[in-house]
């Protein structure tokens, strides 16, 4: 096992059901814990809510991306057809905006889509192939399958190993383990 760098990362409690997790998380948050995180095998909105995570910035990123795509393509088309090499195509005006709509439209979607996906990953700080939590065998076995975890992190000013352990055990988790760095 890798030597601890800065002591422990946090305390990890494993629960059997989402309900238990949400109860514990809510209590922890009410008790003033701020540096804490919940882990579940599928989206668990309630958990996020109770630890005070309400809205994210993915939509904004997407919007910006989309607008960029729109402007980029439409101005490119206009520049090409009217300035770069204006040609008489079938007697149509050089600035044939109706025809330009389609590619611009497609690029709007392209850019928006890419920003949504990559924005989400970036905001989630992914990829992070290594994470202290993976040191906890229980986490490795259950987090993405059928178990629910609450982690009180050591960086929280309130953090004290023994207190925290006691606090968590108050919710009858399957287990509480220290997670090293």
Partner 1 sequence: MTPKTEAGTGAMETGKEQGLTLAEVRRNLQGVKGKKYWRSIDELAGTPEFEAAVLREFPDAAQEWVDPVSRRGFLKLMGASMAMAGLAGCTKQPDEPIYPYVKAPEDLILGKPMYFATAYPFASGSVPLLVKSDAFRPIKVDGNPDHPYNRGTSDPYTQGTLLDLYDPDRAQETTYRGDNREWTEFMMTWREKLIAAKANGGADIAILSTTVASPTLARQWKEAQALYPKAKFVQYDPVNRDTVRTVLGTKDVQYSLTGADVILSLDADFLSGSSFPGFHRLTREYSERRKLASGPEGATMNRLYTVESSTTTTGLKAEHRLALRPSEIPAFTAALAAALGVSAPVPSYGWTDAQTQYLKAVAADLKANAGKCVVIAGEQQDPSVLSLALRINEALGNYGKTVSFTDAINPMPTVQLAELKGLVNDLWSGKVDWLLMLNTNPVYDAPADLNFVDAMRRAKTTVHLGKHADETGSITDWQIPASHYLESWSDARSYDGVASVVQPLIDPLYKSHSAHEIVQAMLDESTKTPYDAVRETWQPLLAKSTDGKTADFEMNWRKALHAGWIDGSALPTAATATVAAINAPAPNSKDAIEVQFRPDPTIYDGRFANVGWLQELPKPVSSLSWDNAALMNEALMVRSGLAEQDIVEITVNGRAVKAPVLVLPGLPDNTITAYLGYGREAAGRVGSGTGYNAALIRTSETMAVAAGASLKKTDGIWGFAVTKSHYQDHRSKFFGGEGTGNNSLEADEALTRGIIREATLGEYKANPGFANEGETHPKVEREITLFPNWDYSTGNAWGMSIDLNSCTGCNACIVSCYAENNIAVVGKQEVRIGRNMQWLRIDAYFEGDLSAPKAHFQPMACQHCENAPCEQVCPVGATVHTPEGLNTMVYNRCVGTRYCSNNCPYKVRRFNFLLFSDYETESLKLMRNPDVTVRSRGVMEKCSYCVQRIQEAKITADKENRPIRDGEIVTACEQACPASAITFGNLNDKGSRVRKLHDNERSYAVLADQNTRPRTLYLAAVTNPNPALEPVVEEHAPTAG
Partner 2 sequence: MATKEFITNDPRLDPVTGELRVIAPGQSFRSVTAKIADIVLTPHTSLGWLLLLAVSGSAATMLLVAVTWLFLKGVGIWAITQPVAWGFAIVNFVWWIGIGHAGTLISAILLLFKQGWRNSINRFAEAMTIFAVVCAGLFPLIHVGRPWLAYWLFPYPNTMNVWPQFRSPLLWDVFAVSTYATISVVFWYVGLVPDFGTMRDRAKSKFAQYIYGMLSLGWRGNVKHWMRYETASLLLAGLATPLVLSVHTVISFDFAVAILPGWHTTIFPPYFVAGAVYSGFAMVLSLAIPLRKVFHLEGLVTDRHIDNMGKVMLATGGIVAYGYGMEVFMAWYSASHWEFFMMWNRMFGPMGWSYWVLISCNIAIPLTTLWVRKWRTNLTFMFVMSLIVNTGMWFERFVIVVTSLYRDFLPSSWGTYRATKWDYMTYAGTFGLFLTLFLLFVRFVPMIPMHEIKMMLPSAKVKTAVEAGD
Partner 3 sequence: MAQIFDRSSNALARMSLVLTGILVIALGVTLNELQRSPWVTRQGQRADQPVPFSHKHHVQGLGLQCQYCHTSVEKSSYAGIPPTKTCMNCHAQIWTNAALLEPVRHSWATGESIRWIKVHDLPDFVYFNHSVHVNKGIGCASCHGRVDLMPLMYEQNTLQMEWCLNCHRNPGKNLRPTSEIYNMAWKAPTEDHPVWCSVTDAKTGVPTAESVSCVTKDPTDSGPAMASLDMPATPGAKDAAPGAMVMPASLSYTKFTSQKALGDFLIDQYHIRPPRQLASCETCHR
The C-alpha atoms of residue 174 and residue 177 are separated, in whole angstroms, by: 10
31 binds, among partner 3, partner 1, partner 2, none (CB under 5 to 8 A by kind): none
Binding string to partner 1 for residues 37 to 76, with x set by CB under 8 A, is what? ----------------------------------------
Which residue is it, tokens 């997790």? Answer: 21
| 3: contact with partner 1 by CB under 8 A | no
Binding string to partner 3 for residues 79 to 98, with x set by CB under 8 A, is what? ------xx------------
CA dihedral 159→161→167→168, nearest 10 degrees, is: 110
52 binds, among partner 2, partner 3, partner 1, none (CB under 5 to 8 A by kind): none
Distance of CA 40 to the CA centre of its chain: 13
- Residue whose CB is less far from partner 2, 48 or 67: 48
| 42: contact with partner 3 by CB under 8 A | no
| 83: contact with partner 1 by CB under 8 A | no
Tokens standing for 21?
């997790």
Mention every residue, 6+ apart, whose C-beta is less than 8 A from residue 149. Answer: 12, 13, 14, 15, 21, 38, 39, 40, 133, 138, 139, 142, 143
- Per CB under 8 A, the list member of 42, 55, 130, 162 interacting with partner 3 is 130
Dihedral pair phi/psi, residue 13, rounded to 5°: -110, 135
Q: Binding residues for partner 1, per CB under 8 A?
A: 87-93, 96
């Amino acid at each position: 096992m890798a030597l601890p760098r800065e002591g422990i990362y946090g305390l990890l409690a494993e629960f059997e059901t989402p309900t238990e997790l949400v109860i514990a998380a809510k209590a922890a948050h009410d008790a003033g814990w701020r540096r804490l995180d919940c882990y579940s095998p599928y989206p668990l909105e309630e958990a996020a809510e109770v630890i005070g995570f309400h809205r994210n910035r993915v939509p904004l990123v997407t919007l910006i991306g989309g607008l960029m795509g729109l402007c980029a393509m439409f101005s490119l088309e206009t520049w090409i057809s009217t300035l770069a090499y204006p040609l008489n195509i079938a007697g149509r005006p050089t600035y044939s905006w109706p025809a330009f709509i389609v590619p611009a439209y497609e690029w709007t979607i392209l850019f928006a889509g890419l920003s949504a996906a990559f924005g989400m990953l970036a905001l989630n700080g992914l990829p992070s192939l290594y994470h202290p939590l993976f040191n906890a065998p229980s986490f490795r076995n259950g987090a993405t399958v059928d178990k629910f975890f609450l982690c009180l992190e050591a960086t929280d000013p309130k953090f004290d190993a023994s207190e925290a352990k006691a606090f968590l055990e108050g919710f009858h988790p399957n287990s509480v383990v220290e997670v090293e760095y």
